[in-house]
Chains A and B, each alone.
Chain A
């Protein structure tokens, strides 16, 4: 009896005219493998929505990395190539050079992009490959169980820095985004997050620009998404987001760094 009433209410609510949101067809129906509270799912959806809204599914090729998002091609309903650890910018270069008129993007974590793939990242950016690079930075190796990443903050705990990252011993965290912004081959460089509705809207606008820019053939569009890893950080999703705002944002401040090939003056930077 209860189920019957429930289903009836559902039927009344779920009508075309009542819908305010619909999942993009560019996300598959496969349940996401990410931890509840993780930013990957939102970042995936935003990028797929942009491709959907631009109508470029038939011209887009994505490159999946190694890390938590190694299975991105299971969720993104587009043609994709899986890259070996850190090599996504080289793989994307190979694709784009052969299909110069198509849209090509990489989706990489901080270990992939800023540690093992540093050379490929810097050189693809410096050559000015006409690709988009999405860099998800949660300051930790999530998939392998929470080891120190190149972006782990000073003092931050991880499974390989159990007493906190001691800069004297482990070296400094790397600000890849500021670094690639200095290279002549980058055209658009920005840092965003996906932890609030406002942040998601800002990221989506930037992601759209990253794909639109590919038509101009003026170089790399590079977007860092500062994200959380509540499992790796050993926090609840809410606490992880709060911790991210309090600790990650001062070191990795969100905002535009380079637009249309020009560095954004520091005073104009938002947040």
Chain B
């Protein structure tokens, strides 16, 4: 039974969490993602599926509750927005170092500092390059619709458990707040089926004690641990790259944009084609791993790339890495909660490449 509803992105995420069989959510209110916990509270998930819902005393406490709960092998998650995600960075580093699966949603708002409650994409570096201390990566999924706010919950948990690693959904204030039609997947059982030999359940005589830790004072052993983590991140690079291309087959100019920026560029492609400009759009769905190879492949046919971001230009560095200087890469950006129109983006393309 297809269950179609008109929902906010944040609400779709919350409903999807319950349906994906999430075991526990720990959070702290922050605009523009407070609807996640509000929706969950109204749904009384402890009655619907037995899911734990707890409002923590801080973002720091919330991510550490996630750490504790993830160690039990359950499907756990948290959500926040930029300043709150900054507070969670230490916890995320511990989760990655201890190889614990979990799902973290960042509904980005403008920074730096307290910044603004308006949408932004200025946490790209933080999400894709580490964020916390130490060498670690997370798979970063970038939803561009309310539908994907729901679908990526299911996908996110699958990937988190596949790699025993935190997965981040990097959304923004537009996707979180806007309402769209969404088709909900059916309720999944809450029981998690995976290798649970590593989790803390209480030591039984038939096995060694299980310890969840990121600490190792022996440098040689700790280097091996780091190498193991890096090998895992390499596997992610090889197997988990996801992207969408629109009108790229004959494209001479390429927009590269993710999330809400990609939605704007979709319209810009249409406007460009009406003017006879052969423009296409590449939308990275995973920001880590980044679709370097696809951009590399397209570079051969392109006259120019315009990266469109709601930041000072962060993803553009990865686009430039992919093109290795073979084609001009320009940036059109807005900051501080401002959003470009499709016409503005097209004008920027025409100006930058003197079309």
Q: State the A residues within 8 Å of B (CB).
A: 56-61, 63-64, 70-71, 73, 77-84, 87, 90-95, 97-99, 102-103, 119-120, 123
Please judge, given known A-B contacts A87-B60, A99-B201, whether A81 and B52 are in contact too, CB under 8 Å.
no
Please judge, given known A-B contacts A87-B61, A94-B26, whether A80 and B200 are in contact too, CB under 8 Å.
yes
Task: Give the residues in chain B near A99, CB-CB below 8 Å.
Answer: 72, 201
- Alpha-carbon gap, A84 to B71, bound state (A): 14
Of B65, B90, B203, B205, the residue contacting A94 (CB under 8 A) is: B65
- Alpha-carbon gap, A232 to B71, bound state (A): 34
Given contacts A57-B204, A59-B202, 9 further A-B contacts (CB under 8 A): A61-B201, A79-B200, A81-B67, A87-B60, A87-B61, A90-B61, A90-B64, A98-B69, A103-B202
Asked whether any CB of chain A lies closer than 8 Å to the CB of B94, the reply is yes
Asked whether any CB of chain A lies closer than 8 Å to the CB of B66, the reply is yes
Task: Give the residues in chain B near A61, CB-CB below 8 Å.
Answer: 72, 200-202
Of B57, B68, B90, the residue contacting A63 (CB under 8 A) is: B68
In the complex, chain B residues 287-332 whose Cβ is within 8 Å of any chain A Cβ: none
Q: How far is the CB of B353 from chain A (nearest CB, A)?
A: 49
Task: Give the residues in chain B near A59, CB-CB below 8 Å.
Answer: 202
Q: Are B213 and A87 in contact (CB under 8 A)?
A: no
Task: Give the residues in chain A near B47, CB-CB below 8 Å.
Answer: none
- Alpha-carbon gap, A102 to B74, bound state (A): 15
B69 (CB) vs chain A CBs: closest residue: A94
A63 (CB) vs chain B CBs: closest residue: B68
Please judge, given known A-B contacts A81-B213, A123-B57, whether A94 and B64 are in contact too, CB under 8 Å.
yes
Please judge, given known A-B contacts A63-B68, A81-B212, A82-B98, whether A98 and B52 are in contact too, CB under 8 Å.
yes
Q: Are A81 and B209 in contact (CB under 8 A)?
A: no
Q: How many residues of B contact A (CB 8 A)?
A: 40
Asked whether any CB of chain A lies closer than 8 Å to the CB of B234, the reply is no
Asked whether any CB of chain A lies closer than 8 Å to the CB of B91, the reply is yes
Q: Are A98 and B24 in contact (CB under 8 A)?
A: yes
Task: Give the residues in chain B near A58, CB-CB below 8 Å.
Answer: 201-205
Q: How far is the CB of B77 from chain A (nearest CB, A)?
A: 12
B59-92 near A? 1/0 per residue, CB < 8 Å: 0111011111111101010000000000000110
- Alpha-carbon gap, A126 to B200, bound state (A): 25
Of B24, B72, B90, B217, the residue contacting A84 (CB under 8 A) is: B90
Task: Give the residues in chain A near B215, CB-CB below 8 Å.
Answer: 70-71, 82
Task: Give the residues in chain B near A95, CB-CB below 8 Å.
Answer: 68-69, 71-72, 200
Task: Give the residues in chain A near B91, CB-CB below 8 Å.
Answer: 84, 87
Task: Give the residues in chain B near A64, CB-CB below 8 Å.
Answer: 213
- Alpha-carbon gap, A77 to B210, bound state (A): 9
Asked whether any CB of chain A lies closer than 8 Å to the CB of B58, the reply is yes
Task: Give the residues in chain B near A63, CB-CB below 8 Å.
Answer: 68
Of A79, A84, A98, the residue contacting B203 (CB under 8 A) is: A79
